[in-house]
Copies of this chain bind each other. A is one copy, B any other.
Amino acid sequence: MIANKMNDLVKNSSVIRAMFEEGKRLASIYGKENVYDFSLGNPSVEPPKEVKEAIIKILNEEDPNLIHGYMNNSGYEDVREKIAQSLNQRFQTSFDENNIIMTVGAAGGLNVIFKVILNPGDEVITFAPFFGEYKNYVSNYDGKLVVVSPNTVDFQPNLTEFSNKITKNTKAVIINTPNNPTGVVYSEETIKDLSKILNQKQEEFGTSIFLISDEPYRELVYDDIRVPYITKYYNNTIVGYSFSKSLSLPGDRIGYLVIPNEVDDFEDMVAAANVATRILGFVNAPSLIQRAIAECLDAKVNLDIYNRNRELLYHSLISYGYECVKPQGAFYLFVKAMGGDDKAFVQAAKEFNILLVPGSSFGCPGYCRIAYCVDYEMIERALPAFEKLAQKYGVNKE
């Protein structure tokens, strides 16, 4: 009775569910503390205390019908203005409330923008490895996701192949930096080169090509790395942001889109984003949490905790003989699957009670993702298992 389009998706979801059940089964046999689940991107660091303080203050001081009521479908004007000013201060941009659309997380924002721009058959380009949901988001509006193959040397995008894959049907390009699953940050040089190609292709085809920057991991960077603010490099940029990771609020579903004045058909774009927010059933981003994050724009989760995890896991794995580009951001390591077959490697890891996600899920077979948004102590307990796993493959540097 379910729609044809849903059939495969439901089958896939039962694979994920089976993996989840397998984790529970292993925990019931070996004890929860002896199963090492690195499969989920659910933040392990607590939200900063400012979030709780802001929510309670708002509940105590503001009008209940304002904080729980409908507002403009694009969000509260004062919240949007505060976000605009915060961006201006940090990135020397010139936004105001009219450039900001509050969204139900980044996932909600991406769906809104694809609803706004995609006609059936339009192409959206992304770079492998990529967040697997992009395929679904584009398919929701009958678009086609075109994937540029991975550059596994440093996981910067392969711009030559990119340039060749742009056609007159290319409506958008979606990038994700810091990247899930590699943790790699696209360099300023990369962004400049990418922008140059896009400008050339827009001129060549007489089209508008939107560069959608999906930025849930913007604030999660280490070693003083700077993440370029994309709107400054390319006019037709739209930013999708989320507070899911920067404030550890993924369940609360709060984020925003930035649509700069420079975007083609700006007025129509923001009007359409407002309408799309409504008719897709979001109606508006959740109200109380909108008001709360506006009071926490300078707050950030404790990155030292993730960084400590990153250092321990990265250096240990390298010492065991794993191959991996050291991540500069996010909370993932993307390691080469020993033996070459990522699905087989993930199965082998399971024998050591280690749960990972195969790179195939990100359009990059031969690798697998380790999410280190977990307890430090779990990483410590898991290290001997990772070592044994490497030994099983006959890889051992020590």
Contact = CB atoms under 8 A, between A and B. Distances in A.
B47 A64 contact: yes
Contact of A116 (B3, B67, B104, B286): B3
A330 interface: no
A283 B250 CA distance: 9
Nearest to A117: B3
Contact of A69 (B9, B43, B104, B284): B43
A305 to B, nearest CB: 12
Contacts of A12: 275
A15 B47 CA distance: 42
A286 B9 contact: no
A1 B264 contact: yes
Interface string A253-289: 1000000000011001101101110111111111111
A312 interface: no
A282 B43 CA distance: 18
Contacts of A64: 46-47, 52, 248
Nearest to A287: B251
Contacts of A141: 3
Query: Chain copies in the assembly?
Result: 2
Contacts of A115: 3, 6
Interface in A64-96: 64-65, 67-71
A283 B136 CA distance: 12
A379 to B, nearest CB: 17
A140 B279 contact: yes
A121 to B, nearest CB: 11
A281 B285 CA distance: 12
A9 B281 contact: no
A2 B269 contact: yes
Nearest to A5: B119
A10 B277 CA distance: 12
